[in-house]
Amino acid sequence: MSDFDPEKITFSSGNYINGEYISAPGDSLGVKRPSDGQLYAEIHQADAQTVDAAVTLAEAARIDSGWSTCSPRERGAALFRWADLIDGDSEYLAKLEAVGSTRPITDVINHEVPFTAAAIRFYAECADKYSGDVLPTRKNSLGMLINEPYGVIGAITPWNFPLSMASWKCGPALAAGNAVVLKPSELTPFSTARLAELAVRAGIPAGVLNVVQGSGQTTGNALVTHPLIRKVSFTGSTVTGAAIMSQAALHGTKPVTLELGGKSPQLVFDDAGDIDEVADRIFQGFTANAGQACVSGTRLIVQRGIAAALTEKLIALCQQPQPGMTWQASSRYSPLIDQRQGEKVASIVAASVAQGAEILAGGQRFEHPGDGWFWQPTLLAKVACDNVAVQQEIFGPVLTIQVFDDEHEAIALARHDVFGLCAGVHTLNLPRAMRLINALDAGTVWVNRYRRTHDFIIPTGGFQGSGMGKDLGRQAFEASMRQKSVLIDF
């Protein structure tokens, strides 16, 4: 993939409803490129009436087209075709994503697009491999548990990984026979609509997957509260997740899957092995997508014996990234999504320093042409547990460093009052790793690594304020169905 001119890319900006792009009559919202802050498009926000049309058409489509009732194998076949079309459209999808999101083009083409197609294939495989149950009852009767789709699922995705987040929501929901109305973040709206367009080309009936554009307050809220939405699946901040959960409860006691924020610790013991490898893992863990990932490992908790050496390596790694427009093939380092996010990172770093933190690397915005916000990888030492940078999800490339002497102290430092999404444990001592796995309050524990794999069988989801339910894995597929109990007397 070579550099491309972001001005030359063309796309449709409407809501994708019932197999067509439709311009909603609502307010228009400007959309900016994160790399240079330039306004490059507008969306017409779907108001309650447009959302109602999308949901009503989705409900009709899933029934009239037979999507909810056809053999699961047929649904699986359609999802396989969809994944193939996504791979075939890789270059265009990658450009759309690189212009509008924080992901450099090389990264999108090598990882994000294949990852998106692979997640859909995983759920295509699930479609006909999950059965109900026959339950032991009296001899002249038959008890059964039947899985069936909910109906229309409302999905809301954030701006950090628009393509893969859409696949994590739509893959399981569609494989299970539901229809989906999805609202992407209004900051990154276009690649998701393209996915829906490809779904229709793949033979998924028009109306079964719809994309509505707009803000959370208007479009998201209308979606969550719509009476025909039977389940809500959301990824985003903990505060918004709680608001959505209460709205879903008030408008139909709908089940929710919430994939929320994190403040994940990375615990490094003296016996962690090759220090260069460990430093690289820690560094990638908090700088990938410039720290704009729910799973970012942003709290380094390191044993005293290795602390100085590891910190020195991290300081050196922090000097390496260079900002570059996301449409340049050589760019590897992501901008922050927008000015608001940039100012949030800047204000938390400043507040952390005011509370006594020492900046060991970074701590500032990169100088770079245009109005993009590229934040330097930042290390903060001398942070107490109540320091704002230890407590708050920053969503920027900022790592706090805390030192411990023994395992007991490490576990105490790892604890967080709000979040429990992920944790990293770096040690070659297996019994210690097992003790830590048991002790840590985290929905995912990575040992001697700090990143996902393409093994979609491993679900993801948080404890406490980091959410409920799981994305990915068989669990996300099962959670896309409701169970009906049946008792037949002969």
Binding region for ligand NDP (CB under 6 A) = 156, 158-160, 183, 185-187, 215-217, 220-221, 224, 235-237, 240, 243-244, 260-261, 294, 341, 344, 393, 395
59, 170, 197, 294: the catalytic one is 294
Distance between first and last Cα of the chain: 65
Tell me how far the alpha carbon of residue 323 is from its chain's centroid: 23
Nearest to 92 by CA among 179, 16, 4: 4
Beta pairing partners, 262: none
**CB nearer to ligand NDP: pick between 165 and 175:** 165
CB of 29 to ligand NDP, least distance (A): 8
CB of 254 to ligand NDP, least distance (A): 13
**CB nearer to ligand NDP: pick between 19 and 189:** 189
**CB nearer to ligand NDP: pick between 147 and 289:** 289
Residue 259 among the catalytic residues? yes
CB of 471 to ligand NDP, least distance (A): 10
CB of 214 to ligand NDP, least distance (A): 7
**CB nearer to ligand NDP: pick between 177 and 424:** 424
Determine the Cα–Cα distance for residues 427 and 433; give it in Å rounded to an integer: 7
**CB nearer to ligand NDP: pick between 220 and 372:** 220
| Tokens standing for residue 319 | 């000097």
**CB nearer to ligand NDP: pick between 211 and 307:** 211
CB of 488 to ligand NDP, least distance (A): 42
Q: What is the 3-state secondary structure (H, E, C) of the chain?
A: CCCCCHHHCCCCCCEEECCEEECCCCCEEEEECCCCCCEEEEEECCCHHHHHHHHHHHHHHHHHCCCCCCCHHHHHHHHHHHHHHHHHCHHHHHHHHHHHCCCCHHHHHHHHHHHHHHHHHHHHHHCCCCCCEEECCCCCEEEEEEEEECCEEEEECCCCCHHHHHHHHHHHHHHCCCEEEEECCCCCCHHHHHHHHHHHHCCCCCCCEEECCCCHHHHHHHHHHCCCEEEEEEECCHHHHHHHHHHHHHCCCCCEEEECCCCCEEEECCCCCCHHHHHHHHHHHHHHHHHCCCCCCCEEEEEHHHHHHHHHHHHHHHCCCCECCCCCCCCCECCECCHHHHHHHHHHHHHHHHCCCEEEECCCECCCCCCCECECCEEEECCCCCCHHHHCCCCCCEEEEEEECCHHHHHHHHCCCCEECEEEEECCCHHHHHHHHHHCCCCEEEECCCCCCCCCCCCECCEECCEECCECHHHHHHCCEEEEEEEEEC
CB of 62 to ligand NDP, least distance (A): 22
Contact 241, 163 (CB under 8 A): no
**CB nearer to ligand NDP: pick between 89 and 112:** 112
**CB nearer to ligand NDP: pick between 98 and 165:** 165
CB of 234 to ligand NDP, least distance (A): 6
97, 112, 259, 393: the catalytic one is 259
| Tokens standing for residue 339 | 């000015």
CB of 225 to ligand NDP, least distance (A): 9
Contact 247, 187 (CB under 8 A): no
Residue 294 among the catalytic residues? yes
CB of 205 to ligand NDP, least distance (A): 26
**CB nearer to ligand NDP: pick between 147 and 225:** 225
Which residues are known catalytic residues?
Answer: 259, 294
